[in-house]
C-alpha cells in the first residue's frame, strides 16, 4: 500500500488511464451545500495564485482510495475508486464547465483542458472517459464530458453540479471583482491537495476506507493557539494567564476569541490569512521571530487590550460616545462583520490619539455609505472581505485617518457608487429584491429619520414592515390606472413589474392587511394617520402611479445623497457593464425546463425590455439567451443568434424543446414554465434569501396580552377577508392534520401579511427545523401555499433532488396543480382554494404525511 499527497493534475493528467467508480458505490450525491464550500475554497486559492502570495499553501480536499481494477492492463491502467468518487466527479465537472465556458473565445485552451483531464483522446466508447462513473450516473456524466448535453434533461446530481459551475463562472466575470478563469483552473488542478492511497490487489481497501473516515471532535484554532502560547511561556505563564488571558477568555466566547485572534493577524499585516489557518500563521510568525516570553506576553496583552474594542463591535451599547455608539448600532444592524478589520483599526487609532470621536464618526459614515450605496446599486458583496481586510495595510499615512479611509474606499475597483449612479438606481432598480430584509428596513428607517420629525418614531419598539404602496398583486383598478401610463411597447402588467419593487414605491408601516391591496384612495386614509412623515407625504398625493413613484424616488435620492457621503471624484467606473453582468448570471442560472420574457428580465434588472433585447442580440456567449421570449411565449421577430457557431441551431423552437420547454397548441411556450422577475431574483438569492430561516421567524405563539390578537388569529382574519369560508375551513383541516403528525404551526410577525409555516423540528432551534410550505393570505388575489423547494435543498434529507421531485409529483396529483420540474429550484405557489375539494385535500394530506415520514426516517437513522 502507498499513501502520498498529490494534486488533481498529477493524479489525472499525463497518460492514458481510467478511474472507475464501482457499480456498488452510491450515485453522485453532492448538493449545493458541498458545491458552495468547494467553490469558496477554489476561489480563495485562485486569489492566492493571482496575487502570487503564499504559493506553498494548498487546500487539503480529502482522500482518494484506489485499488487496481480487474480490467487493468499494462497499456491502459484502470483503477477502482473505493473512496473519493464525489470529489473526482465534482472536479471533473468543474473542469468541463471551464472548458465549455472558454470554448468560444479560446478553443485551443478548451481542447487542452479536455485532453489533459477529461478524456483519453485515442480511446473510444467508455474507455474515452478519464473518469468512469457508476452506471446510474454514466449517461449524464458522459453527455457533459462529450458536450452532448442538449436534450439530456435535468434532475440528476451530475447535471445540477455542472450547471452550478457554469453559473459560478459567469459570476466570476463580475467587473466588481473579476476572476481569471484560467486562475480558477489552476486552483482546481494545482492547489487542491489530495491524499492518494493506492492499494495492492490483496490489501483490504475497505478497512482503509473506514480508518480514513473515523473522525473525532477537533480542537478549534483558538484552542490550538492558546495551548501553543502557554506551552512556550515559562516563568510568567501563570501570572499572564490570570492577569490577561482569563479575563479575555471570560469576556468572549471561544468563537469570538478565535475571530479576535484572526483580526489581530490582519491588523499586524497578514491580510490574506484565512481564519481556518490562524494557528499555523501565528505560529509561523512566532517561530520566524524566535519569540520568547517577552514577545508572547506582549501579544497576549495586545489581545486583552483589543478585546474591549472588539466587544464594542459585538455590543455597541458598551461604546461611551453617543454618536459613535449610534453609528456602530447601524453597522451591527446591517450585519457588517466584513468591516471588522477597518473598525478595529479605527478603535486602535482613537486609543492612540490619532483620531478623535468626531473623526471616528466621519470614518464610520464613510463605511456605512460604502455598504448602503453598494446595496442600493446592487454591487455584489463577494469582494467585501478582501476590501476591508486590506484596509490596515493600505490606509494612506499622509492624511488624517478618516480622510485616508475615504480616499482608500474611493479608489479604483472598490465600486463605491457615486451620486449619479445612486440617483439612477433609486429610480429604476428593484430595491426590494436585493440585500437582506434588515438592510432594506434600515435604509427606509434612515430616510424617514432624515425628515427630522419633532416626535421621532421609536423604531426599536415599533413593529414596522416594508410596504408596497402600489401592491405586489394589483387588482383591476390598479391595472386600469397603469394602462393610462403604458405605451404600445409595454403592457400595464410589465409596467407594474418594472416599478413595484423600486425604492420610490416602498415605505414602512405597521397597519393591518385588509387594505394592503386595495385602491390607493383607501390606502390614503391609513397613511394619513401614520406617525411616519414619509407616509403622510404619500397620502398627500392625489393618485399613485409611475409618475408619482419616480417623483418620490427623486426626493428620496436627494435625501440619500445627503445621508450617505459620496466617494471622491475621478474614479473610473463600469456600472452599466455590471448591470448586464447580472443579466448574464441569472440567465446562466435558469433551470432546465424554464423560460423568461424580455419584460421579466428587464424588471429584474431595472431596465427596459428593448434594451434587454438589443443587448442579447449583440452580445456573443450569453448562456441561455435564446430562452428569453416575448411575454406571449414566442420567439421575438428580431431574434438572431449572436455567434456563427449558434447559427447551426437555426430552429430556436427545437433548441427550446430540447431544453424541456413545452409548447401549447397555439405554438407559444407553456406559461406555467415562465419565470417572473421575482422568480429570477430568487434564483440568485438561492437558499441565502431572507425567508430561508423559516424556523427563526415562524415561532410558536407566546402568551398574548388580554384582548390582544394572536398571530394565528390575525392570519385567519386576513385569510377570511379574501377567501371563502370553505377555503378557511380547508386550511384549518390541513393545520389540524399537520399537528396530528407531530408538526407545529408557526406564524410570521408581519402585520401587512401574516404567514403560516408548516414546521417540523424543534421550535426556536435555527438550522434544525424544516417546513414544506408557507401559507399566505391573498390580500385581494386569493391565498396561496408557497412550496419551498428552494429551502428544502439546503436541509437533509431533501438535499436529495429525487426526494424533492417525488414531493413535486405528489403535489401535481392534485386537480388544478401543474408545477413544472424547472421550479424545483424555486418556490412555486398553489392556490389555497384548491384545498376545498375533498379529493385534493386527501392527496395533500398524504403528501404531507409522506414528507413527515421522510424527515422522521432521516432523524432516526
**What's the pLDDT score for residue 573?**
45
| Residues above pLDDT 70, as percent of the chain | 88
Which residues have a Cβ under 8 Å from the Cβ of 118 and sit 6 or more positions away? 92, 95, 96, 99, 129, 130, 131, 145
Residue 400 and residue 264 in one domain? yes
**What's the pLDDT score for residue 217?**
44
Q: Model-level pTM?
A: 0.78
Residue 72 has pLDDT above 50, yes or no: yes
Nearest CA to 676 among 782, 584, 597, 586?
Answer: 597
- Looking at the domain assignment, is residue 847 inside a domain? yes
Pairing of strands 465-468, 506-509: antiparallel
Q: E-assigned strands of 157-316?
A: 192-198
Q: Worst-scoring range by mean pLDDT, 326-330, 623-627, 680-684?
A: 680-684
Residue 342 and residue 229 in one domain? yes
Residue 19 and residue 62 in one domain? yes
Residue predicted with more confidence, 736 or 606: 736
Residue 514 and residue 612 in one domain? no
Q: Can you tell me which residue has the cell 409529483?
A: 809
Cell numbers standing for residue 605: 434588472
User: Cα separation of 599 and 174, whole Å?
Assistant: 23
From 632, 658, 683, give the residue that closes a domain: 683
Nearest CA to 234 among 156, 301, 295?
Answer: 295
Q: Which residue blocks in 571-698 are alpha helix, DSSP H?
A: 575-588, 598-605, 609-618, 652-658, 677-685, 694-697
Q: Give residue 284's pLDDT band: very low, low, confident or very high (50, 70, 90).
A: confident
Residue predicted with more confidence, 584 or 228: 584
Q: Are 471 and 478 in contact (CB under 8 A)?
A: yes
Nearest CA to 158 among 172, 145, 169, 171?
Answer: 145
Cell numbers standing for residue 551: 417623483
Q: What are phi and psi of 22, to 5 degrees?
A: -60, 155
Residue 409 has pLDDT above 90, yes or no: yes
**What's the pLDDT score for residue 702?**
47
Q: What are phi and psi of 772, to 5 degrees?
A: -85, -25
By CB atoms closer than 10 A (0-12, 13-18, 19+), residue 637 is: exposed
Residue 231 and residue 292 in one domain? yes
Cell numbers standing for residue 291: 519569540
Cell numbers standing for residue 244: 490577561
Distances in whole angstroms, Cα of residue 330 to Cα of each of 34, 363, 402, 445, 602: 33, 14, 18, 11, 32
Q: Are 99 and 118 in contact (CB under 8 A)?
A: yes
Beta partners for residue 2, in sequence order: 198
Average pLDDT over residues 685-693: 49
Residue 538 has pLDDT above 90, yes or no: yes
User: Cα separation of 645 and 598, whole Å?
Assistant: 23
Neighbours of 649 (CB within 10 A): 13
Quote the Cα angle for 171-623-609, to 5°.
95
Q: Are 268 and 393 in contact (CB under 8 A)?
A: no
**What's the pLDDT score for residue 220?**
77
Neighbours of 599 (CB within 10 A): 24
Q: What are phi and psi of 584, to 5 degrees?
A: -65, -40
CB-hemisphere CA count at 13 Å for 633? 20
User: Cα separation of 724 and 731, whole Å?
Assistant: 11
User: Cα separation of 128 and 118, whole Å?
Assistant: 9
**What's the pLDDT score for residue 572?**
43
Domain coverage including residue 624: 575-683
Average pLDDT over residues 346-373: 96
User: Cα separation of 595 and 117, whole Å?
Assistant: 33
User: Cα separation of 367 and 365, whole Å?
Assistant: 5
Neighbours of 437 (CB within 10 A): 14
Q: Can you tell me which residue has the cell 420629525?
A: 453
Cell numbers standing for residue 381: 458583496
Residue 724 and residue 804 in one domain? yes
Q: Give residue 215's pLDDT band: very low, low, confident or very high (50, 70, 90).
A: very low
From 528, 563, 598, give the residue that closes a domain: 563
Burial 334-365, CB ≥16 within 10 A → b, else e: bebebbbbbbbbbbbbbeeeebeeebbbbbbb
- Looking at the domain assignment, is residue 476 inside a domain? yes
Q: What are phi and psi of 105, to 5 degrees?
A: -85, -30
User: Cα separation of 404 and 411, whole Å?
Assistant: 11
Cell numbers standing for residue 800: 436529495
Cell numbers standing for residue 360: 471616528
Residue 10 has pLDDT above 80, yes or no: yes
Residue 665 has pLDDT above 90, yes or no: yes
Residue 599 and residue 531 in one domain? no
Residue 371 has pLDDT above 90, yes or no: yes
Residue 536 and residue 476 in one domain? yes
Distances in whole angstroms, Cα of residue 838 to Cα of each of 38, 795, 835, 842, 844: 47, 31, 7, 6, 10
User: Cα separation of 153 and 140, whole Å?
Assistant: 9
- 619: domain CATH number is 1.10.10.10
User: Cα separation of 458 and 456, whole Å?
Assistant: 6
Distances in whole angstroms, Cα of residue 419 to Cα of each of 377, 409, 562, 563, 576: 11, 15, 10, 11, 15
User: Cα separation of 384 and 612, whole Å?
Assistant: 29
Most distant CA pair in the chain: distance in Å? 88
Residue 407 and residue 432 in one domain? no
- Looking at the domain assignment, is residue 162 inside a domain? yes
From 648, 664, 683, give the residue that closes a domain: 683
Q: Worst-scoring range by mean pLDDT, 337-341, 453-457, 778-782?
A: 778-782
Cell numbers standing for residue 721: 377577508
- Looking at the domain assignment, is residue 570 inside a domain? no
- Looking at the domain assignment, is residue 522 inside a domain? yes
- Mean pLDDT of all residues belonging to the chain: 86
- Looking at the domain assignment, is residue 807 inside a domain? yes
User: Cα separation of 672 and 683, whole Å?
Assistant: 17
Nearest CA to 119 among 129, 105, 110?
Answer: 129
Distance in angstroms between the alpha carbons of the first and the last residue of the chain: 34
* 32 three-state secondary structure: helix
* pLDDT digits 0-9 by tens, 551-590: 999 999 999 999 999 999 864 444 445 678 889 999 999 9
- Looking at the domain assignment, is residue 490 inside a domain? yes
Q: Are 476 and 522 in contact (CB under 8 A)?
A: no
Cell numbers standing for residue 745: 404551526
Residue 243 and residue 384 in one domain? yes
**What's the pLDDT score for residue 207?**
54
Q: What is the CA radius of gyration of the chain?
A: 29
User: Cα separation of 134 and 409, whole Å?
Assistant: 51
Cell numbers standing for residue 594: 424554464
User: Cα separation of 511 and 472, whole Å?
Assistant: 16
**What's the pLDDT score for residue 4?**
86
Neighbours of 673 (CB within 10 A): 24
Q: Give residue 495's pLDDT band: very low, low, confident or very high (50, 70, 90).
A: very high
Neighbours of 771 (CB within 10 A): 24
Residue predicted with more confidence, 680 or 767: 680
The total number of structural domains that make up the chain: 5
Average pLDDT over residues 640-668: 81
Cell numbers standing for residue 668: 407559444
Distances in whole angstroms, Cα of residue 772 to Cα of each of 158, 608, 697, 803: 25, 36, 15, 12
- Looking at the domain assignment, is residue 716 inside a domain? yes
Residue 382 and residue 462 in one domain? no
Average pLDDT over residues 421-450: 93
3-state DSSP: the chain helix, strand, coil percent, rounded to 5?
A: 55, 10, 35
User: Cα separation of 587 and 790, whole Å?
Assistant: 17
Residue 472 and residue 528 in one domain? yes
Amino acid at each position: 500500500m502507498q499513501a502520498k499527497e498529490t494534486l488533481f493534475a498529477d493524479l489525472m493528467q499525463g497518460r492514458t488511464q481510467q478511474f472507475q467508480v464501482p457499480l456498488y458505490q452510491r450515485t453522485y450525491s453532492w448538493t449545493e451545500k458541498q458545491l458552495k464550500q468547494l467553490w469558496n475554497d477554489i476561489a480563495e486559492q485562485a486569489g492566492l495564485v493571482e496575487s502570487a502570495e503564499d504559493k506553498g499553501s494548498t487546500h487539503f480536499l480529502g482522500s482518494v482510495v484506489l485499488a487496481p481494477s480487474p480490467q487493468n492492463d499494462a497499456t491502459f491502467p484502470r483503477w477502482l475508486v473505493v473512496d473519493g468518487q464525489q470529489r473526482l466527479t465534482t472536479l471533473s465537472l468543474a473542469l468541463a464547465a471551464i472548458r465549455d465556458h472558454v470554448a468560444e473565445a479560446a478553443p485551443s485552451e478548451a481542447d487542452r483542458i479536455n485532453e489533459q483531464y477529461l478524456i483519453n483522446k485515442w480511446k473510444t466508447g467508455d474507455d474515452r472517459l478519464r473518469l468512469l462513473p457508476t452506471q446510474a450516473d454514466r449517461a449524464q456524466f458522459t453527455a457533459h464530458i462529450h458536450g452532448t448535453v442538449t436534450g439530456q434533461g435535468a434532475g440528476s446530481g451530475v447535471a445540477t453540479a455542472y450547471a452550478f459551475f457554469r453559473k459560478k463562472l459567469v459570476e466570476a466575470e463580475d467587473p466588481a471583482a473579476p476572476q481569471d478563469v484560467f486562475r480558477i483552473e489552476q486552483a482546481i488542478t494545482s492547489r487542491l491537495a489530495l491524499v492518494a492511497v493506492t492499494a495492492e490487489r490483496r490489501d483490504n481497501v475497505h478497512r482503509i476506507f473506514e480508518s480514513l473516515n473515523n473522525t473525532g471532535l477537533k480542537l478549534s484554532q483558538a484552542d490550538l493557539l492558546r495551548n501553543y502560547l502557554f506551552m512556550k511561556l515559562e516563568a510568567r505563564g501563570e501570572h499572564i494567564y490570570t492577569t490577561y488571558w482569563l479575563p479575555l477568555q471570560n469576556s468572549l466566547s471561544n468563537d469570538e476569541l478565535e475571530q479576535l485572534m484572526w483580526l489581530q493577524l490582519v491588523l499586524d499585516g497578514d491580510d490574506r490569512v484565512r481564519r481556518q489557518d490562524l494557528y499555523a500563521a501565528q505560529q509561523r510568525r512566532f517561530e520566524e521571530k524566535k519569540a520568547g516570553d517577552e514577545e508572547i506576553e506582549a501579544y497576549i496583552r495586545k489581545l486583552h487590550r483589543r478585546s474591549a474594542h472588539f466587544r464594542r463591535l459585538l455590543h455597541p451599547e458598551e461604546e461611551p460616545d453617543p454618536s459613535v455608539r449610534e453609528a456602530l448600532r447601524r453597522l451591527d444592524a446591517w450585519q457588517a462583520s466584513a468591516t471588522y478589520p477597518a473598525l478595529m483599526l479605527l478603535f486602535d487609532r482613537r486609543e492612540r490619539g490619532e483620531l478623535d470621536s468626531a473623526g471616528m464618526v466621519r470614518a464610520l459614515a464613510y463605511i456605512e455609505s460604502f455598504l448602503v450605496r453598494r446595496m442600493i446599486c446592487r454591487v455584489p458583496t463577494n469582494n467585501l472581505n478582501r476590501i476591508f481586510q486590506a484596509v490596515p495595510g493600505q490606509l494612506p499615512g499622509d492624511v488624517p485617518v478618516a480622510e485616508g479611509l475615504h480616499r482608500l474606499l474611493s479608489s479604483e475597483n472598490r465600486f463605491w457608487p457615486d451620486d449619479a449612479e445612486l440617483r439612477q438606481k433609486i429610480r429604476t432598480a428593484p430595491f426590494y429584491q436585493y440585500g437582506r430584509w434588515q438592510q432594506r428596513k434600515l435604509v427606509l428607517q434612515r430616510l424617514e429619520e432624515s425628515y427630522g420629525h419633532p416626535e421621532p418614531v421609536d423604531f426599536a419598539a415599533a413593529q414596522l414592515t416594508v410596504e408596497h404602496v402600489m401592491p405586489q398583486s394589483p387588482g383591476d383598478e390598479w391595472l386600469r390606472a397603469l394602462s393610462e401610463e403604458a405605451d404600445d411597447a409595454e403592457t400595464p402588467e410589465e409596467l407594474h413589474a418594472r416599478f413595484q419593487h423600486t425604492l420610490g414605491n416602498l415605505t414602512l408601516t405597521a397597519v393591518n392587511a385588509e387594505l394592503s391591496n386595495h385602491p390607493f384612495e383607501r390606502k390614503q386614509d391609513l397613511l394619513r394617520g401614520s406617525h411616519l412623515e414619509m407616509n403622510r407625504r404619500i397620502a398627500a398625493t392625489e393618485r399613485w402611479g409611475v409618475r408619482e413613484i419616480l417623483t418620490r424616488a427623486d426626493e428620496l435620492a436627494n435625501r440619500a445623497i445627503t445621508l450617505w457621503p459620496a466617494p471622491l471624484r475621478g474614479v473610473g467606473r463600469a456600472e452599466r457593464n455590471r448591470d448586464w453582468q447580472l443579466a448574464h448570471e441569472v440567465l446562466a442560472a435558469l433551470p432546465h425546463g424554464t423560460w423568461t420574457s424580455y419584460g421579466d428580465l428587464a424588471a429584474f434588472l431595472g431596465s427596459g425590455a428593448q434594451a434587454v433585447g438589443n443587448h442579447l442580440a449583440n452580445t456573443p456567449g450569453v448562456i441561455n439567451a435564446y430562452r428569453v421570449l416575448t411575454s406571449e411565449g414566442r420567439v421575438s421577430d428580431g431574434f438572431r443568434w449572436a455567434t456563427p457557431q449558434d447559427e447551426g441551431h437555426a430552429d430556436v423552437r427545437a433548441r427550446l424543446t430540447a431544453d424541456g420547454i413545452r409548447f401549447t397548441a397555439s405554438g407559444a411556450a407553456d406559461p406555467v414554465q415562465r419565470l417572473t422577475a421575482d422568480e429570477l431574483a430568487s434564483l440568485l438569492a438561492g437558499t441565502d434569501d431572507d425567508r430561508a430561516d423559516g424556523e427563526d421567524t415562524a415561532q410558536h405563539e407566546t402568551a398574548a396580552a388580554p384582548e390582544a390578537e394572536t398571530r394565528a388569529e390575525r392570519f385567519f382574519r386576513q385569510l377570511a377577508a379574501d377567501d371563502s369560508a370553505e377555503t378557511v375551513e380547508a386550511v384549518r383541516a390541513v393545520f389540524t392534520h399537520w399537528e396530528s403528525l407531530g408538526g407545529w404551526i408557526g406564524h410570521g410577525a408581519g402585520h401587512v401579511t401574516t404567514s403560516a409555516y408548516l414546521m417540523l423540528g424543534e421550535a426556536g432551534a435555527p438550522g434544525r427545523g424544516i417546513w414544506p410550505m408557507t401559507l399566505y393570505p391573498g390580500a385581494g388575489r386569493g391565498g396561496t401555499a408557497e412550496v419551498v423547494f428552494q429551502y428544502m435543498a439546503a436541509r437533509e434529507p431533501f438535499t436529495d433532488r429525487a426526494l424533492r421531485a417525488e414531493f413535486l409529483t405528489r403535489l401535481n396529483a392534485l386537480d388544478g396543480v401543474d408545477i413544472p420540474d424547472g421550479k424545483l429550484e424555486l418556490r412555486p405557489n398553489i392556490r389555497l382554494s384548491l384545498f376545498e375539494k375533498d379529493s385534493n385535500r386527501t392527496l395533500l394530506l398524504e403528501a404531507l404525511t409522506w414528507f413527515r415520514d421522510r424527515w422522521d426516517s432521516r432523524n432516526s437513522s
